[in-house]
Structure 1
Amino acid sequence: MADESSEATWPGGQAKGRVPPANSLALDQTRAAGEASHLADPLGATQDSEAGRGIGGIGEVREGRGGALGEERPGDLSLSIPPKIGRYVILRRLGAGAMGVVLVAYDPELDRKLAIKLIHPKVSSREQARVRMLREAKGLARVSHPNVVQVYDAGTVDGQLFIAMELIDGRPLSRWQAADGRSVDELLAAYIEAGEGLVAAHAAGLVHRDFKPDNVLIDGQGRARVLDFGLVRAIGKLIEGAPPGAEPSIELDLEGVGLELALDTPRGGAAQGDALTVDSALTHGGAIMGTPAYMSPEQWRGEEVDARSDQFSFCVALWEALFGERPFAGRGPMELATAVCTGQRRDPVDARQVPRALRAALERGLSVDPGERFSSMDALIAALSRDDWTKRSTPLAIAAVLVFGLLAWGRSGGSATMGVQAPICPDAGASVGVVWGASQREAVRERFAASGLPNAAPAGARVEAGLDDYAQRWRAAAEEACAATRIRGEQSEEIYAAQWRCLQHRRMELGALAEALGHAQTEGAQGLERALSAVEGLPSLQTCDAEQVLDGGLSVPDDEALAHRVEAARAELARARALLDTGRYAEAEAKLEALRTELEALGFAPALVEVEVVHGLLQLRLDHLDDADLELREVFFTALALGEDIQALRAAVSLAKLEGSRGRPEFAELWAEQARSLLERHGQHDGGLAADIADIMSWNAFVRRDFAGAEVLATRGLAELDAAGLDAPMRRLDLHLDVGVAAYERGDLGLAERSFERALELASETVGRDNARATGPMNNLAFTRLAQGEAERARDLLREAVGARERELGPRHALVGIALSNLADVEIELGEGEAALSAAARGARILAESRGPDSDVALLARQRVGQAQGLIGAHAEAAVTLLEVRERTGLDPAADPALIAELDALLAVSFANAGEQARSQAALARALSACGARELGLVAGYARQAGQPELAEALLARLEALVVTPEGAPEDNFSRRRLARARMLHAELIASRDPAAARALLDAVDAADFAGAPALSRDLERLRASVRD
């Protein structure tokens, strides 16, 4: 990320926002301590760990067209009501209709009231029919969905079928929508909820056959609940030998009306007296089942129906709610049937408030031919939730779909609501289209296009591809979970329910990020980079696998009302996190503060911990390190005390990152080990998180100078991403940089070059080669090539980096100054004094202004000014410049002795060239007293430049004695290469007077010492040839 706090330019600078080890070279990883968002969210919101109690309802106080439910109408079938049905104690009659009676009962075992539908013996008298109905009713008990009235039990008593279900205190959707002031958004959100209930039933292999506003309740929490799935004919024949479509429905209209034709009424449904009872032949003959005003053409024709029939009925009901009248008119049943079956739809009187795209979706659902409708109810709901109008309705509609879904799955303990048949499971994951569909994709595209940035197109395409990939993997995970449970029977319903809860949380995170990206201000190139990292930071879907899903999760309150509020807060927390990840820090902080206040008032500590973890991360992103440290440590221990290990894990990862940014690898590693331990305790595997922890630990190893360990850890991180099938270009970029810097320090220049080239490719593919993010790998690759003896290629890369940073960051940005200083270093190596002086002087001015004149990077740039002055023959000026740098550096008690030694050696050269031999010798003496074995070769080279070849020879001989032991030369590549260069210099010094000794030194140099550096191998061969001559 192009943040000046992240640049490392060794010598004199730091990488990844951390303090570099002594004697490191000018590598640059350009990684901000607080910005690598993929490190911040190891797991994200996870699945609920406990299931709570379901609560119920079919309304105890509910009035319909025929009056109160307790009133029986003429013609109702009389039933003998026993005092008990099984273990259920009957309290009173609630309502009755043509198919049976509804009772309020009490379950003493579970201490709850419930509703019982007792089916009339005439309906369920045939044994084969009764067996089938009972089997299907018991199957319905496995369907648990927040928008479906739950079936608890089914059985027979004295030959009569009974079905026990939730008792809901609510009112019909028809009465709710008739209230004045209902907006299009409110109506659409309610119907989307009801549609989700239909989706759940269809996934379980059920067709409602009588969807209408009176068969939907709005409960006390404002949630839409679809009624009577337990009394709707299941797919497949219930009575042997009956023709398709002719089997009697086990539908029971709780309003006391069997089959009815409700004529045109104002929005909200028919009033008393508007319903005309249809010929009894229809109800008793069984040719047509349903309420004619909402029936599909295939129902009117008596054909076999499937889920697309429910889609038609749903669209009739929603059309009526939105436009105040139904789409098909008729003065009687036959006129209505003709209009429906021929598609004679009437235009609404007033359509101004309903978006055209919404109307078009409904018109498709109202197609006469079922094949021209949406492929599934899920597809219709996705369309209703993603087209143009959802810019207004998204917060309500999506919150209803996601939050209520999570609440029900977290508390019901019931099964998931997807496929019992093979054709159903492929659609199990279709609901992801609600949160990442056409409208969200278009919004994201528009935001990137509006940025005007040159790299917006490739970055936007990568973001879109990342979200597509996540959605596709979500869909695949949902379908596989369904198939494993409902088709192959490989796992239990309990595991499936836990998987679905987990997947619903993941869908919530995806939806929140898609919404944030669709409204985010790109804020320059950093905005592009944040977007890419945010997509990679989406919580892992691996943790929803059957092997992992039952261990850990989010706590849920036992109190239903509290649980609903907590889940709503979690939906807001997902939005806050998405704002944070897209760089909208002020908005994120405001939302987090509001959530903190709300949850403190609610008194549910686990959810408050979740907020505090994200707030601590916000402080880290804002570079408020002390505040972040305090908050994250406190929440870590609070989470452990509450048993919220996943939140403790998230805090530990952030603390590891924080300590790394402070240059304290020992503490960073401690927190990383804590995170890994917590992850292993839960037996979960998350490839992205494992890669992030490997990244942290790799950098810690690097700072400790354990370069081999750093390389192994970074390579392991890449392997974790491969194993998880994660593209993750920003994560991979960082890990390739880790491998590269470790390989460079080990002297494996070939691996370093390949790693930096791959990192540069990834940056170019994502944010563009001229993005500042690409200049970090560019810088590292340049210094690797410089070490390979390819200074001109290194210069080309650094010139490109300077230009890219100037264009993106402006000519006075600190990162431009650092790139200029690095370019000057290469120009010095090439002997280009004027070019070096120009770059170094400009870089020094920028860095003195932006970082301060005594900052490490500013002093390094001034040092290069002095070296360039010497190259052009301005020796006195060079001595003045270098002496100033030496004095300012020496004021720092923590100054690296190697740097002091180098400065004194450079001063020695300048003084010698200026004719001040005494000062030159004194400077060399100081250099010798400060340097160690690693610096002897460097100082020897400067001694030669200072006109003291004898001293240079002595230093090189001393180096040989120090590094070559009785066991032989050093084994690591870096030390071997340093020794080889020293021997070459030594041979060059003595060649004229002792060619045999020079040849012996060159013969001791192995060409393998320059593996990965062909230019240096060529230098060796040229020197050997000159000595032989």
Structure 2
Amino acid sequence: MTDAQAHPTAIGPFVVLRKLGEGAMGVVYAGYDLALDRKVALKLVRPSLLDNESVRERMTREAQAMARLSHPHVVQVYQVGTHERSVYMAMEYIEGETLASWQRAQPRPWPAVLRTVCDAGRGLAAAHAAGLVHRDFKPDNVLVDAEGRARVVDFGLVQAGVGEEREGDDEETEEPVMQSTLPSGEVSGERSGGVRWSARLTRRGNTLGTPLYMSPEQHFGQPVGPWSDQYSFALTLYEALYGEHPFCADSWEGIRKQIRAGTVPPPSPGSPVPWRLFKVLQRGLAFRPEDRWPSLAAMIAALEHDPWRRPLAVMAVVGLLGVASAISYAAASRGQEAPRCQAVEHELAGVWDRERADAVAAAFAATQARFAADALERVTSRLDDYARSWTDASREVCEAHVAGSQTGRMIDLRSACLGRRKAHLTALVDVLAAADRDVVEHAVQAVAALPSIAACSDAEGLIGGTAPPDDPRTAARVEALRGKTARAAVLEVTGHFDRGLALAAEVRAEADAVGYGPTIAEAALVEGRLQVSAANPTAAEAALVRAIRLGIAHDLHAVAGEAAALRIFVLGVGLNRRAEAFAAEVFAEALVERAHDDGRLQALLSNNLGAVHDLQGDTDAARIYYERTIAGLKRRPGPPDPLIAITYNNLGGMYHDRGEFARAREYYELSMQLFTTILGDAHPFVAHALAGLGDADAAGGAPERAQVNYEQSLARMEAAYGPAHLYLLQPLTGLGRVHARLGRAADAEQAFVRAVAMADELELGHPLLAQALEGLGELAAKRGERGRAGSFYERAAEVWAANGDATAGERAVLRARDLRDGLAPSGQ
């Protein structure tokens, strides 16, 4: 056949039906295989080119390479042979169009584009698994059939083996040669950025391919391998997703300059494509092969690792381990999108559902705590509300994801935020389902402390945040660490500090090994919280400083803000560096403001500043900050936060210490009412407020009323904590003082003796023990037992000294000396 000859009627055993296309290499026909009753595509090389041995070898190599592959996303080669003076190849006939034509035919949503190009990538990865390199992957070498199935074609430049060089001279044609071996015969002239050519540059060296889609190795004469196809794949997908090529120039040299610079332009801010995909592509487009993904399969797995599509997480990992298209993203995501959003209703199955609620109920009942039933009712109601809010927010994200109504980056950030909330909920329910008495006591506060769901819809607060890692393996490790971090946080809020610290140390080591900054920051914050609760201020500050630094570095505003607020308490109260605490206020305020949370962080900061001012003796400033705390907590959505009642209790204590007993009583009364409403009448926190009321009444000149409050407090505490517990010291010592004032010496002594015996049994050195000892000393003195009374005061002085209260210790020493010298008490 001469180049100008009419179309043949048959090629080998195949009947020629019609011409499909023509390029520099030859002509492609539609044919028919009579023996097997099927249509085929027949690629017939131009006879004039067969004098060139390299062309003949290339044609043979393409046939051999493709015949070795049997993959749903690679065009199948059936037969290769000779026709007159030419060579032909019979291939699978595809009723479809090139990827470029498929995209131009109609607007395609980005998930469909991603799915289609990744399908083609699977075919390319299969070639790599067979030891082959395509060297010319581009949109015109991907066919999409009527059902949307993509196949890789045109392995004419395929190379067997990694880094293998072609033999022959290194002459380069002065101009690109237009060539197509596609059934459509189309040579696309539509490219972005003013580049209107898709010519393949034919070169008798290793630089074969199409300049717009060639890798740096092909451009600059370096060894070519699967990493080169990965680069071409990344270029193709970038253009398909964003509608423009990343490197736009009007010459080959211009493209080379841009590629050498290594800067990949980000998509436009309004792109609906998730930001995480750009980050994956950016790595695939790295100038140095060693900086790209370890394999094309790994890159595809990263592309398909959508944090929103949680049911596909296992498939993404499988995709990383091997090319398995039957269980790929494509198979999982080709259904209608609406049912996927309906499936959100089941996302919390096994986290908070009827079965988990029953487990929590059984654990609470098993503690036999008197207040367990009240706590369970309130915990269940709050968890139901939280789960409902999480599901509603998740559905909103899914619908926005499907409709493309928000940018991809925002979808990623909202999904990541909700993922962290789910991890916290999971950890809390796990602890509640194995609850002991301490957990039940703190359960309502623990639920109230769950992070805000509303914050996951705050665009301003989320912008600039860090999306999950692109690499599926790293993402899986981060998610596991997130669960451990959440559990450590729950152990802190439920009072299990030792267990929490042990877990926090484990999380810190693992987070450092993973090296993902946001996870390290979150772990440091939780460790800091635990160290604060465990009264280890030096260790607490070190962890909180780390959390602040990493939180700022990774735009984790809530982490940095909370750490800064906690550090003020540590500096001012724990380390007695109040000047530094006050100086850090403006910095902490700025971080908290950036967090855009639901008000809890601002309340935490105000409470901690109030505590430092209280310790400084500035009652007016402390009151202002405490009241800000209450106002902020009241603005939070949902049922009242237990911290409001706790803050009222703190205000009561502050005014009591300043001698303003009437005001102290007002705040203790508010605290008791709120504790009763929020936690239930039987909860031990109500007993603490009653003890505060007893203190205010006793000091305010109402001993009879004080006695009633102390007795109610003691009965509730005994029911909650048993007959021996630190907390019983307050009502017992208070009762002793009241009985003594009312002239009931026997009752007073009984209360004081019990307080001292209990403290000794528990090995407590609390200031209330010193007060009980002094009470016993006065009772002994009144009976004329001055030696015994002096002994009580001497021991009280030791307790005061151990607690750092030098003034009270000196007063006790002087009283002991007076008693032993036979003097009457003075100034008492």
Q: Is the 8 A contact 1:646 1:678 kept in 2?
A: no
Indicate whether 1:451 and 2:367 are aligned.
Answer: yes
Instruction: Assess if the C-alpha contact under 8 Å between 2:474 and 2:514 holds in 1.
Output: yes
Measured in 1, the distance between the counterparts of 2:416 and 2:797 equals 64
Pairwise CA distance, 1:719: 0.8
Specify whether residues 824 and 702 from structure 1 end up closer, same or farther in structure 2 by C-alpha distance, changes over 3 A only.
same
Residues 42-95 of structure 1 show CA distances to partners (whole Å, capped at 9, x for unaligned) of xxxxxxxxxxxxxxxxxx99967x897636899955456599888993364567
Given that 1:502 and 1:549 are in contact with CA atoms closer than 8 Å, whether structure 2 keeps it comes out as no
The change in CA–CA distance for 1:221 and 1:768 in structure 2 (over 3 A counts) is farther
In structure 2, the CA distance between the partners of 1:440 and 1:680, relative to structure 1 (3 Å rule), is same
Q: 1:768 to 1:731 in 2, by over 3 A?
A: same
* Greater relative contact order (Cα < 8 A, sep 6+): 1
- Partner amino acid, structure 1, of 2:769: A
How is 1:593-612 mapped onto 2 (pairs within 5 angstroms)? 593-612=505-524
Report the Cα distance in structure 2 between the residues aligned to 1:840 and 1:723, rounded to whole angstroms.
44
Structure-2 residue corresponding to 1:822: 734
CA spacing shift, 1:474–1:887, aligned 2, 3 Å: closer
1:441 maps to 2:447: no
Deviations 1:457-499 (A, max 9, x none): 111222222222222333454567789999998x766545533
Identify which of 491, 495, 511 aligns with 2:426: 511
Residues 623-1022 of structure 1 aligned to structure 2 (within 5 Å): 623-634=535-546, 636-637=548-549, 646-659=558-571, 662=574, 664=576, 666=578, 669-670=581-582, 673=585, 676-680=588-592, 682=594, 684-745=596-657, 749-765=661-677, 768-851=680-763, 856-869=767-780, 873-874=783-784, 876=786, 880=790, 884=794, 895=805, 897=807, 919-920=823-824, 924=826, 939=827
CA contact 2:521–2:551 (8 Å) conserved in 1: yes
Amino acid at match of 2:749: L
State the Cα distance separating 1:821 from its structure 2 match.
1.6
**Deviation at residue 752 of structure 1 after TM alignment:** 2.9
Aligned partners of 1:575, 1:82: CA distance in 2, in Å? 48
Residue 929 of structure 1 aligns with which residue?
A: none
1:501 aligns with 2:416: yes
The secondary structure found in structure 1 opposite 2:450 is coil
**Conserved in 2, the CA contact under 8 Å of 1:485 and 1:493?**
yes
Distance 1:671 1:471, change over 3 A: farther
How far apart, CA to CA, are the structure 2 residues paired with 1:728 and 1:561? 41
Structure-2 residue corresponding to 1:55: none
* 8 Å contact from structure 2 (residues 379, 447) kept in 1: yes
Relative to structure 1, is the Cα distance of residues 573 and 892 closer, same or farther in structure 2, using a 3 angstrom cutoff?
closer
How has the CA–CA distance of structure 1 residues 655 and 91 changed in structure 2, closer, same or farther, with 3 Å as cutoff?
same
Per-residue CA distance 1:420-473 (angstroms, 9 max, x = gap): xxxxxxxxxxxxxxx433333232222222322221111122222222222233
Query: What's the CA shift for 1:532?
Result: 2.5
**Gaps in structure 1 of 5+ consecutive residues:** 1-59, 119-140, 152-166, 174-189, 199-212, 235-305, 308-375, 391-434, 925-938, 943-1029
State the match for 1:219 in structure 2: 319
Conserved in 2, the CA contact under 8 Å of 1:698 and 1:738?
A: no
Give me the whole-angstrom Cα distance separating, in 2, the residues matched to 1:193 and 1:468: 22
Corresponding residue number in structure 1 for 2:138: 89
| Deviation of the 1:540 alpha carbon | 2.4
CA-CA distance at 1:836 after TM superposition: 0.9
- Aligned pairs for 1:165-184 (under 5 A) are 169=297
Counterpart contact for 1:528–1:767, Cα < 8 Å: no
CA offsets, 1:675-706, max 9 Å, x none? Answer: 63342462624411111122212222222222
Residue in structure 1 matched with residue 30 of structure 2 by the alignment: none
- CA distance in 2 between counterparts of 1:600 and 1:90 reads 42
CA distance 1:705–1:476, shift in 2 (3 Å): farther
Q: Give the residue type in structure 1 aligned to 2:639.
A: D
Q: Counterpart of 2:436? A: 523
d(CA) in 1 for partners of 2:742, 2:380? 45
Amino acid of the residue matched to residue 685 of structure 2?
R
8 Å contact from structure 1 (residues 865, 881) kept in 2: no
* C-alpha distance in 1 between matches for 2:332 and 2:791: 87
Greater Cα shift, 642-651 or 797-806: 642-651
Paired residues of 1:444 and 1:517 also in contact (CA < 8 A)? yes
Q: Secondary structure at the match of 2:462?
A: coil
User: 2: distance between equivalents of 1:845 and 1:757?
Assistant: 31
Q: Secondary structure at the match of 1:461?
A: helix
Amino acid at match of 1:829: R
Q: Please give the alpha-carbon distance, in whole angstroms, between the structure 2 residues aligned to 1:494 and 1:67.
A: 30
- Of 63, 70, 76, the residue aligned with 2:76 is 70
CA contact (8 A) 1:814 1:851 kept: no
Query: How far did residue 782 of structure 1 move?
Result: 0.8
* Aligned partner letter, 1:514: V
Query: What is the distance in 2 between the residues matched to 1:227 and 1:61?
Result: 24
TM-score under structure 2 normalisation? 0.59
Note the C-alpha offset of 1:794. Answer: 0.9
What is the rounded CA distance, in whole Å, between the counterparts of 2:146 and 2:775 in structure 1? 95
8 Å Cα contact 1:599/1:607 also seen in 2:
yes
Query: Residues 746 and 486 (structure 1 numbering): CA distance in 2 closer, same or farther, change over 3 Å?
Result: farther
**Hey, what's the Cα distance between the residues in 1 that align with 2:475 and 2:670?**
48
In 2, Cα distance between equivalents of 1:585 and 1:658: 17
Contact 1:102–1:116 (Cα < 8 Å) also in 2: no
Note if contact 1:782-1:797 (Cα within 8 Å) is conserved in structure 2: yes
Q: Which residue of 1 aligns with 2:116?
A: none
Q: Could you say what secondary structure the match of 2:139 adopts?
A: strand
Contact 1:194 1:225 in 2 (8 A): no
Cα distance change of structure 1 residues 483 and 713 upon mapping to structure 2, 3 Å threshold: farther
For 2:139, the aligned partner's letter is: I
**Residue deviations 1:770-826 (CA, integer Å, cap 9, x gap):** 554333211111122224432112112212323333344343433334432221111
Whether the 8 Å CA contact 1:672–1:693 is kept in 2: the answer is: no
Deviation at residue 827 of structure 1 after TM alignment: 1.2
Secondary structure in 2 matching 1:538:
coil
Q: Compared with structure 1, are the counterparts of its residues 114 and 819 closer, same or farther at alpha carbon in structure 2 (3 Å cutoff)?
A: same
Contact 1:711 1:743 in 2 (8 A): no
For the residues of structure 1 that align with 2:97 and 2:703, how far apart are their CA atoms? 99
Secondary structure at the counterpart of residue 670 of structure 2: helix
SS at match of 1:549: helix
Q: Is the 8 A contact 1:737 1:756 kept in 2?
A: yes
Q: Equivalent of 1:474, from 384, 390, 394?
A: 390
Say if 2:488 and 2:504, in contact at 8 Å, map to a contact too: yes
Letter in 1 for 2:652: G
Separation (CA, whole Å) in 2 of partners of 1:383 and 1:80: 40
Structure 1 residues 63 and 796, CA gap change in structure 2 (3 angstroms): farther
Give the Cα–Cα distance (whole angstroms) in 2 for the partners of residues 692 and 655 of structure 1. 11
1:463 equivalent among 359, 379, 383: 379
Count of aligned positions = 597
1:853-895 Cα offsets, whole Å, 9 max, x none, are x764333211111233456x44646754566468658978965
Within 2, Cα distance between the matches of 1:893 and 1:510?
Answer: 39
SS at match of 1:727: coil
Contact 2:656–2:664 (Cα < 8 Å) also in 1:
yes
8 A Cα contact 1:782 1:795, kept in partner: yes
Counterpart-to-counterpart distance in 2, 1:116 and 1:689: 41
What amino acid is aligned across from residue 369 of structure 2 in structure 1?
L
CA distance in 2, matches of 1:96, 1:89: 17
Residue 735 of structure 1: CA displacement? 0.9
The alpha carbon displacement at 1:639 in A equals: 5.3
How much identity, in percent, do the aligned residues show?
21
